[in-house]
Structure formats: C-alpha cells, structure tokens
Amino acid sequence: MSRTWLVTGGLGFIGSNFIRLVLKERADVRILNFDAMTYAGNPANLADVSSDPRYRFFKGDICDAKAVDEALAEPVETIVNFAAESHVDRSILDPEAFLRTDILGTHVLLEAVRRKNITRFLQVSTDEVYGHVPEGHSKETDPLAPRSPYSASKAGGDLQVLAYGSTYKSPVLITRGSNTYGPYQYPEKLIPLFVTNLLEDKPVPLYGDGLQVRDWIHVEDHARGILHILEHGHEMNVYNLGGGNPRTNLEITGLLLAQCGRAFDTHVRRVADRPGHDRRYSIDCGKAAALGWVPRRDFAAALNETVGWYRNNGQWWRPIKSGAFADYFKIQYAELLR
C-alpha cells in the first residue's frame, strides 16, 4: 500500500533535498510537491527525479486555500511544510512577504489539516526563533525571542501550529533546524553566495566584525532529521536539529577562501553590519538524539564536498546569479560595497 505525502516548498533548498531522500529511501511513499515557484523555487533542483512515477508536481501558493484544496483532492496522509520566505536580509527589505507566507500560509495549511483527514503535519522551522543566544544552548521549551522580520514570522507560524494542536487536536510537530548548507542552496545565503563569488573571482561582503556564530548542518543531515522526526516524533512536540558545528562567519570565510584558492586581502570586503544582527545561535539537540537522530556528516569533509559541488555545477547557479538575483544583489549590496 503506498502513502502520499504532500511536501510544500519542495522546489526549494531543503525541501528538494528532503524529497530526493524520501524517494530514495521510502519505496512506499508517493510525493506530491506543492510549490509556488517563487524566486527560490527552482525546478532544476529536482530535475533528476521529475520523471519518477512516485513524484508529482502541483504549482500553487500555500496562502491560496483553493489551490491547497485542489492538491488535497486525492487522499494525502501527511503534510510537511517547507514553504517559507527564509532570508533575513530580504525580510529587512520586504517584511510583508514573510508575514504572508510564513504565518498566513501556515494557517491555510492548518485549516486544510482540520478539514481533510491528514494524520500528520510537520512544520519545518528554524533555530532563529529563539533569537540571539549569548551563552549556552536553546532548548525546545525556551521562550521565543525572534529579532528579525523573518524569525518573527517563523515564530508566528510555529505558535499557530502549536495552537491548532492544543485547540483542535491537530496532529502537529515542529522541527527547528540550524543554519544549513549543501547543494542546491540559493546563492543569497552566506555559504553559496561566498563560494560562487569566489569562484567568479569576485569579493565577498562580510558583515560587521564577522564574529557572529552559526551552527552549521549539512542539508542531508537536516533532511534525515526531518524524516526521522516525521516518523518517530511525538505530536505537539518541537525538536531542535543542529549540526553541532559552531563557527564564526570569519572562520567560514577563511575555509572558503582556502578551498577556492583566494586571499583574504583581495577577496574579502568588510561591510556595514546587518541591522539587528543576531550574534549567536546555538541549540541543544538532546531531544532529537534521544529519539535516535544524530547528524552524520563531518563538517570539514562536507564543506569541501559542497564547494566541489558548486565548482562542478556552474550550469545550476550561473543562470540564477545572472537573472533576477542580480537585481537583488544590487539592492542589497551596491551601497555596502561602494
């Protein structure tokens, strides 16, 4: 008997890696990928599985209740919600899009869960909802203290998810992942932006003193973590999924410069800091570990492999960077780099 999972935002970075993993490792699961194809939803991310008979694509926006209902015309067992606006810098430029997708879109899906016979709803969230963590590690029970329009929108979505669990007994779970890297990441985020700029022999814009700390997780570990929580997690629970690789942005920059054969003096531009920049994120992942999930990838090897992927897949990122991304880059960085 096959089961169908509706994956929203499956043409994005983490969603596409999750779908590839599920099709490979869960032979009885069919995937219905519901994606609005906004700037980061790229069919090329799943070109290799697009003709798999267990994979189908439905173009739609999670804010559009009618489109969601149409996608749910066939029996769906589970919804995994990856659909989100996810970039802090863009949320500073245009917060409304974040409120719409990350809060209203989540609400539309939760309403669909109530109406249809959905037995599991997993919300993919972020460690950024805990806000800046000066010391120690955030636990799932810690208060939320988001500080950017992006993280506040994700926190709003998380709270709606838990409220539906409490009020309507909706079968919900949440994962909160740390900063993710790997193949198919839109080149607006730190690692793919810096790698592709360095490969193009362009400078990289390092915000502020570069001593901000992020905990890096490879996308395959993150996707496996979401799958593990989907299959073994308990309803109404939140699970942190972190890589266990805290690094300053300066350290990441140094590693990428070395791997791309570029020098700090010629290729790093120190630019004005991001407004409201969170200094440090750090999560305690003991709860997911107790359920049997731990990240597997060695950071140095996986980062090296990631740089190699971008080096060998210019046909994937070059059209992105010369297209609509170029306009965004101008708006975000022209003044900073001047």
* Residue numbers annotated as active site: 127-128, 150
User: Can you tell me which of 8, 91, 123, 179 binds ligand TYD, judged by CB under 6 A?
Assistant: 179
User: Can you tell me which of 206, 217, 256, 268 binds ligand TYD, judged by CB under 6 A?
Assistant: 206
Joined tokens for residue 139: 């636990």
Type and span of the H or E element at 44: none
Cβ at position 21, least distance to ligand TYD in Å: 22
Type and span of the H or E element at 287: helix 286-290
Residue whose CB is less far from ligand TYD, 212 or 245: 212
Residue whose CB is less far from ligand TYD, 89 or 305: 89
User: CA-CA distance, 195 to 305, in Å (whole number)?
Assistant: 12
User: Can you tell me which of 106, 125, 153, 212 binds ligand TYD, judged by CB under 6 A?
Assistant: 212
Task: Give the amino acid at 57.
Answer: F
Residues in contact with ligand TYD, shown as a per-residue x/- string from 79 to 118 under the rule CB under 6 A:
---------x------------------------------
Cβ at position 118, least distance to ligand TYD in Å: 29
Compute and round to an integer the Cα radius of gyration of the chain: 19
Joined tokens for residue 287: 């709860």
Cβ at position 34, least distance to ligand TYD in Å: 24
User: Can you tell me which of 161, 173, 174, 190 binds ligand TYD, judged by CB under 6 A?
Assistant: 190
Residue with tokens 């169908």: 4
User: CA-CA distance, 174 to 162, in Å (whole number)?
Assistant: 9
Residue whose CB is less far from ligand TYD, 179 or 196: 179
Residues in contact with ligand TYD, shown as a per-residue x/- string from 235 to 274 under the rule CB under 6 A:
--------------x------------------------x
User: CA-CA distance, 169 to 249, in Å (whole number)?
Assistant: 42
| 189 counts as binding ligand TYD under rule CB under 6 A | yes
* DSSP at 78: E
Contact window for ligand TYD (CB under 6 A) among 14-22, 77-85, 203-211, 221-229: 203-211
Cβ at position 128, least distance to ligand TYD in Å: 6
User: CA-CA distance, 237 to 235, in Å (whole number)?
Assistant: 5
Joined tokens for residue 103: 């809060």
Contact window for ligand TYD (CB under 6 A) among 41-49, 95-103, 187-195, 229-237: 187-195
| 71 counts as binding ligand TYD under rule CB under 6 A | no
User: CA-CA distance, 44 to 57, in Å (whole number)?
Assistant: 13
The DSSP code sequence of 251-267 is HHHHHHHHHHT--HHHH
Residue 241 CB neighbour total at 10 angstroms: 28
Nearest CA to 222 among 298, 284, 172, 297?
297
Type and span of the H or E element at 218: strand 213-218
Cβ at position 18, least distance to ligand TYD in Å: 19
User: Can you tell me which of 36, 112, 193, 241 binds ligand TYD, judged by CB under 6 A?
Assistant: 193
For 333, counting Cβ atoms within 10 Å of its Cβ (0-12 exposed, 13-18 middle, 19+ buried), the class is middle
Residue whose CB is less far from ligand TYD, 33 or 197: 197
Cβ at position 191, least distance to ligand TYD in Å: 7
Beta bridge partners, 181, equal 218
Task: Give the amino acid at 248.
Answer: T
Residues in contact with ligand TYD, shown as a per-residue x/- string from 1 to 40 under the rule CB under 6 A:
----------------------------------------
**Site for ligand TYD, rule CB under 6 A:** 88, 128, 179, 189-190, 193, 205-207, 212, 214, 249, 274
